[in-house]
Amino acid sequence: METKSTSAPKFSTKTSGRAEPALLELFTDSIKDIYWAEKHLVITLPKMKEAATSKELAAAIDEHLTQTQGHVARLEGVFTLLGVAPQAKKCDAMEGLAKEGEGIVESTEAGTATRDVGIILASQKVEHYEIATYGGLTQLATTLGLDEVADLLAQTLAEEKDADLILTEVAENSVNYKAAEEA
């Protein structure tokens, strides 16, 4: 966690008091963290799409890649509202989740539904990490009186939840069954 203080925000919040600058700094650092994570996903999602065999899975990943580019842009909107220059701070969690996904691809055979199952498992861990992050940060933005920021984060939260549901559908409708047949 970064401990140096940042410059004063260019907005006023509903609340005041000594605790607030530290809380705002924690919030801003968390935005920098998820900004790194989203940018990292823009790089890793095409690799997962390439590794997928099922057309439904490849299409789901491709659609979420487009959404993820929108998540990056939305976070840039958040930085603007905060009066802070966009800055990515390495997200150790997302780096690890992405590595796990790549490890699953390496340890499964190309062209198999088993690999697709692994890609879905890894992808849903990513979505749940994002859901946890955006859920918490939406609440925190509201607490800080940053309603416009909360609105942007809530829009992304809804898309992350949709992505998770679509992955569940792809698994249940075809991929899991095909992988069980393969065994």
Whether 100 and 65 have beta carbons less than 8 Å apart is answered as: no
Whether 122 and 110 have beta carbons less than 8 Å apart is answered as: no
DSSP at 171: I
Residue 72: CB partners within 8 Å, gap ≥ 6?
35, 38, 39, 42
Residue number, 89 or 178, with CB nearest to Fe ion: 89
Query: Residue numbers of the site for Zn ion (CB under 5 A)?
Result: 33, 91, 93
Applying CB under 5 A, does 130 fall inside the site for Fe ion?
yes
Residue 103 C-beta: closest distance to Fe ion, Å: 19
Applying CB under 5 A, does 164 fall inside the site for Fe ion?
no
With both helix axes pointing from N to C terminus, report the angle between 147-170 and 55-82 in degrees, rounded to the nearest 10: 170
Tokens 């600058």 locate to 21
Q: Residues binding Fe ion: what is the number (CB under 5 A)?
A: 4
Q: Among 21-29, 51-59, 140-148, 159-167, which window interacts with Fe ion (CB under 5 A)?
A: 159-167
Applying CB under 5 A, does 116 fall inside the site for Fe ion?
no
Could you say which of Fe ion, Zn ion, none residue 160 binds, taking C-beta under 5 to 8 angstroms by partner kind?
Answer: Fe ion
Look at residues 156, 129, 21 and name the one whose alpha carbon lies nearest to residue 75: 156
Site for Fe ion in 64-83 (CB under 5 A): 68, 71
Residue number, 3 or 66, with CB nearest to Fe ion: 66
What are the CA-CA distances from residue 129 to residues 30, 55, 56, 125 (Å)? 13, 25, 23, 6
Residue number, 32 or 71, with CB nearest to Fe ion: 71
Q: Among 23-31, 126-134, 136-144, 167-175, which window interacts with Fe ion (CB under 5 A)?
A: 126-134
Could you say which of Zn ion, Fe ion, none residue 164 binds, taking C-beta under 5 to 8 angstroms by partner kind?
Answer: none
Residue number, 91 or 167, with CB nearest to Zn ion: 91
Residue number, 23 or 88, with CB nearest to Fe ion: 88
Residue 17: CB partners within 8 Å, gap ≥ 6?
none
